[in-house]
Each structure stands twice: as structure tokens, then as C-alpha cells.
Chain A
Amino acid sequence: MDKTTVTFTWRGALEGAKRCLPIEISGFAIGLVFGVLAGQAGLSVVESFLMSALVFSGAAQFVVLGLWATPLPVAGIALTTLVVGLRHLLMGAALSPFFSKLSRLRAYGSVFFMADENWALTMSEFSKGKRDAAFLLGGGLAMFASWTTSTLVGRTVGGFLREPARWGLDFAFTAVFLALLVGMWRGRSDLLPWAVAALVAVAAHHLLPGQWYILLGGLTGSLAGAVRRGV
């Protein structure tokens, strides 16, 4: 695979923002819900907005709302965020063959905006032979705008939206990821790593609290793929 000619263009960024549109829309709905729940958990408007703008991670933000109490368990909140974010380590590693070709500012600036969804779309672009790394940033910035705006709207006027499951919205991202997986399937060589990932993730989801299942499934599945290629 040729990873040498990686570009970083406006065109790529715009393409990323455009292709992430369905995610920006469903993300907006999820952000509304986050704003509502943040208000119920006792976060002020400014605090809710700052959290969405600085942390920009739906998974971490929803999880810490469950910990938000007086007195605030600051260390516990930081540690939980770290654990929920550990999957980013693997995602960043997967970007590195491409992003290590960029300037530091572009690479390390872009990853601030790396969420599961725009990362997945970017990897799917790369797997099709596209090489414009600004795709991640473009998608990320658009998602950032949608996420922060919807948090504000939800926090201030969104009292009517409480249960995302009632609208089937909890399934929107599952559907997006499934559709991306369909495009990523390369044939038999993926069978073992995907089966290992699925088994480990289901077991870990059942046995462990929180988000460990993503990290454990991703790690064991990808290692299974690497070991198999070695023999």
C-alpha cells in the first residue's frame, strides 16, 4: 500500500464535512439530549458548553454525567474520562502511517477533532486509496460545530427530549458503523480478526463496566489479524 503521498487540502476538508453530514445531523440530536441531561445533572449553561467544546467526546461526556454530584469527584471524573478515551490510542495508531507524513501542527491539531465517526470515515477513505488527510479535520470541525451548538440548544430549551432510545436515535451510530464495516470488508483475511473482536467485545461488555469492551475487542481483534499474517 502506498502511503507516501499524503495531501492536506481544502478540498479534502470540505469533502470530509460533506460526507459526515448524516453524522452531524444525528450528532445534533444526541447533543440536544446531552444538553438536557447536563442541565439535570447540575451543569450550568457555560459549563455544558465548555465541556462539549473542550472535551468533544460524547462517550466520555455522557459517562461523567453519572458521576456529577456535590462534592464533585474531580479525580474520578478525570480518570473515567481517560479510561473511556483509551480506544483513541488505537485509533491514533491506525492514523499514524498517514498522519506521520504531515506537519506536527496539522497532525496534532487534526486529532483534537478525531471522534469515532469521522475517524471511521477517514479510515474507510484511506482503505479505498484516497490520501487526503484533511478529510478527518473537515468532518471533525463540522461535527464540532454541530455538537457544541446542539449542547447549547439542548441545555437551554431542550426539555422535551429525554430518552434517545424512544426515537431510535441510539441506533443511528450503530447503523453508520455497520454500513462503514460493509465497505471495509476485504474478504477472508478479515474473518478471524473481526470474529475475535466481536467475541471479545460481547464478552467484555457483559462482564466489565463502562467502555472497556471497545478497547479490548479492538486490541485483540487487530492483534489476531497481525499474528495470522505472520504465520
Chain B
Amino acid sequence: MVFDLQALLAILLMALATYATRAGGLWLASRLTLSGRVEAWLDHIPGAILVSIVAPTVLASGPAEALAGLAVVLVALRTGSLPVAMVTGVCAVLVLRAVA
């Protein structure tokens, strides 16, 4: 079986739903008039989203993830390099999970 129609339908609907969310925010926000407060809101979205993605893992899943997170922050502050920070995080969490 190469594909079945039900599965294809599900995948197409998934594609539609995802694209709607990707385009929808841009579409809606480009219709807002940029008052100071709206601009301040848009301006704070990136930080707030990224904090929300990492917070449960770093702050609430255990000492290994918290310490690895701390290591990443320190390395990022020191080097400013994304690849180095990523490798540090993966290695740190591997080691810390093994010992913790």
C-alpha cells in the first residue's frame, strides 16, 4: 500500500490547519494599527514564547535538566555561539542524567 485515502485526507487537513496558524498571525496582526501598546506587545512575544517553551523542561523536570540549562546559559554568555551552546547542553544532560 502506497497510501490510503483516509490517511491522505488527514495529512492534507493537518497541512491546512498548520498553514492557517502560520499565516493567520501575520494576517491578523498586519491589520492592527500599531499603537505604542500593540507594538510593546508584539515586541515581547519572542522572549515570552521562548521562555514558555523551555521553562517546564529547565525549571520543573529535575536537577539534570536544570543544571544542564544553567551550563548552557553560562556557555552562551561566555561564547555567544549557538552550536557550542547546543553541544554543551546535549553533553551536559547526558552526563547529568547518568549520575543523577
Residues of B56-78 whose CB lies within 8 A of A: 56-60, 65, 68-69, 72-73, 75-77
A71 and B6: CB pair below 8 A?
A: yes
From residue A138, how far is it (CB to closest CB) to chain B in Å?
15
Given A55-B18, A198-B52, A221-B52: A111 and B46 within 8 A (CB)?
A: no
| Secondary structure class of chain A's binding surface, majority of residues | helix
> Which of A9-17, A143-151, A152-160, A172-180 forms part of the interface with chain B?
A172-180
A93 and B29: CB pair below 8 A?
A: yes
A116 and B53: CB pair below 8 A?
A: yes
- The chain B residue sitting closest to A228, CB to CB, is B40
Q: Say if the beta carbon of A168 comes within 8 Å of chain B.
A: yes
A194 and B6: CB pair below 8 A?
A: no
A178 and B22: CB pair below 8 A?
A: no
B94 and A167: CB pair below 8 A?
A: yes
A94 and B46: CB pair below 8 A?
A: yes
Please give the number of chain A residues whose Cβ is less than 8 angstroms from any Cβ of chain B in the complex: 97
Contact string against A for B residues 9-51, beta-carbon threshold 8 Å, 1 for contact and 0 otherwise: 1111111111111111111111010101111111111111111
User: B2, B17, B41: which contacts A82 (Cβ < 8 A)?
Assistant: B17
From residue A100, how far is it (CB to closest CB) to chain B in Å?
4
Which residues from B are CB-within-8-Å of A168?
A: 89-91, 93-94, 97
13 sampled A-B residue pairs with Cβ under 8 A: A44-B3, A54-B14, A60-B14, A60-B18, A86-B21, A94-B49, A96-B30, A108-B26, A171-B57, A182-B73, A205-B60, A224-B44, A229-B36
